Amino acid sequence: MAGGAIVNTAGGKEYPGKLTLFVLLTCIVAATGGLIFGYDIGISGGVTSMDSFLKKFFPDVYRKEKEDQNTNQYCKFDSQILTTFTSSLYLAALIASFFASLVTRAFGRKWSMFGGGITFLVGAALNGAAQNVLMLILGRILLGIGVGFANQSVPVYLSEMAPARLRGMLNIGFQLMITIGILCANLINYGTAKIKGGWGWRVSLALAAVPAAIITVGSLFLPDTPNSLIDRGYDTAAKDMLRRIRGTDDIAEEYNDLVAASEDSKQIKNPWGNILRPKYRAQLTMAILIPFFQQLTGINVIMFYAPVLFRTIGFGGDASLMSAVITGLVNVFATFVSIFTVDKLGRRKLFLQGGSQMLVCQIVVGTLIAIKFGTDGVANLSKTYSAFVVLFICIYVAGFAWSWGPLGWLVPSEIFPLEIRSAGQSINVSVNMFFTFVIAQAFLAMLCHMKFGLFYFFAGWVVIMTTFIAFFLPETKGVPIEEMILVWKSHWFWGRFISDSDIHVGNLEMANGNNNKNNSNKTVV
């Protein structure tokens, strides 16, 4: 098929070893880094719609919002100041991820996670105690730096720690924690919005300290990955770590491959200049397009604006928050589907299936809204009709939760060779943050102008991204992370950018089939 890579999709080069309790625990602890990102995604929308918060910090916005008598449901009150405040976090994260890549490479992945956790913690304290807009914005920037560091280091850490055949499952722990963070935030907002004294927003913002404390303390107990230890010259420690995480003494083959990868890595002093070389063209393209496409699925329209959206289609204030909780639950549970299938079905099947499911739902939701709201945006929906809309939104969220959600973090973290892995991951994070920012900023204006067509707009992007995956993303399941170059080399399109001399000897031996088991497993996908 056009995805075309000759890879051993039945498990690649399989190193000896098993899934140890130690590696499982370290991956669970590291994955909690996703909680801080998720918590923030879920908390901001709710807080910025609380009257007491607006009155204290953005009185002008509050006044204008109350004066807004517009009955057109497509054109809700849109304050650029308020959305800029929310989005400042994503801009801070974007910049921070570049610094994180330096820390991650020079000092190891765990210190980036620790740095992320502690900065987020300070940001949460500042926000919870905020007396003025300055404190609020400073806090927000610190939260952003925290997210930038965590999102840069956690996915890479998980992909390096995991045995190749379970890498998908363990890496998706990160996305699972993101979804749990979002759900907890939705529930907390639901509760704090009811606090009468007008300080509910403080509780919502300050509780961000809980997930921050979990990853800060947790990271102190985490060992560093063997890949990073070797790269930083700690060969004996790396060997011990490999024995421990694989639960066997038979680690020579994997160790040698890691050493070979590290030797390549040491040739490269400046990953930023190197990443532009033709042999990394495939990975660079993925690091840019995968996060871009992930955001163009339109998922954050639901995550940030679910309460607005549900109110638009006729739910009252409370009910709309409840519906947000329902999508939050669907998001968490559907993520398990990918956890249990990603290493069996592979990444491509999930991408293609999830994409098709999202496409159908976007067309259905757009059409349901078009039928009732037309172009003037005035309508009253019956309970059954609204329930249908919510149902299709939930099916859409489920499709995202087992495809572009987790794979948007997994795939970029597993495709880079060691020498440009940190740099590549920070490109992934920054593109993701940039488009999260753009969508958050533009959504209300887009809805006002494009009306129900907004759903068709995102549907169009889903067609493009699904086609892209079908043709350009080779299957990466089960392939050891330091052997990934072979997958690209044998791809119908990307292969032309990689010459034989770009592949080190260990890889070549595998490619030539010195290992009989591998040889017999080679298939064209």
User: For ligand BGC, which residue of 101, 216, 300, 362 counts as binding (CB under 6 A)?
Assistant: 300
Residue 8 or 300: the one with the smaller Cβ distance to ligand BGC is 300
Copy the structure tokens of residue 325. 């909780």
**Per CB under 6 A, does 327 bind ligand BGC?**
no
Q: Are 390 and 323 in contact (CB under 8 A)?
A: yes
Q: Which amino acid, 368?
A: L
**Per CB under 6 A, does 427 bind ligand BGC?**
no
User: How many alpha carbons fall within 13 Å on the CB side of residue 14?
Assistant: 15
What does the alpha-carbon distance between residue 24 and residue 187 come to, in Å, rounded to a whole number? 28
User: For ligand BGC, which residue of 61, 96, 287, 303 counts as binding (CB under 6 A)?
Assistant: 303
The distance of closest approach from Cβ of residue 434 to ligand BGC in the complex, given in angstroms and rounded to an integer, is 12
**Per CB under 6 A, does 287 bind ligand BGC?**
no
The distance of closest approach from Cβ of residue 415 to ligand BGC in the complex, given in angstroms and rounded to an integer, is 17
Residues written for the chain: 525
Copy the structure tokens of residue 239. 């060997």
Q: List the x/- string, 173-202, binding to ligand BGC by CB under 6 A.
A: --x--xx--x--------------------
Q: List the x/- string, 80-109, binding to ligand BGC by CB under 6 A.
A: ------------------------------
Q: Which amino acid, 231?
A: D
Q: What is the dihedral of CA 491, 492, 493, 499, to 10 degrees?
A: 60
Q: List the x/- string, 340-379, binding to ligand BGC by CB under 6 A.
A: ----------------------------------------
User: For ligand BGC, which residue of 408, 412, 474, 480 counts as binding (CB under 6 A)?
Assistant: 408
Residue 408 or 478: the one with the smaller Cβ distance to ligand BGC is 408
**Per CB under 6 A, does 436 bind ligand BGC?**
yes
Q: What is the DSSP string of 59-94?
A: HHHHHHHHH-----TTS----HHHHHHHHHHHHHHH
**Per CB under 6 A, does 144 bind ligand BGC?**
no
What does the alpha-carbon distance between residue 433 and residue 423 come to, in Å, rounded to a whole number? 15
The distance of closest approach from Cβ of residue 358 to ligand BGC in the complex, given in angstroms and rounded to an integer, is 13
Q: Are 286 and 411 in contact (CB under 8 A)?
A: yes
**Per CB under 6 A, does 117 bind ligand BGC?**
no
Q: How far apart are the first and last CA of the chain?
A: 6
Q: Considering CB under 6 A, how many residues would be counted as binding ligand BGC?
A: 15
At how many degrees (to 10) do helices 109-128 and 209-221 cross?
160
**Per CB under 6 A, does 334 bind ligand BGC?**
no
Copy the structure tokens of residue 260. 């070979």
Binding site for ligand BGC (CB under 6 A): 41, 175, 178-179, 182, 294, 299-300, 303, 331, 405, 408-409, 432, 436
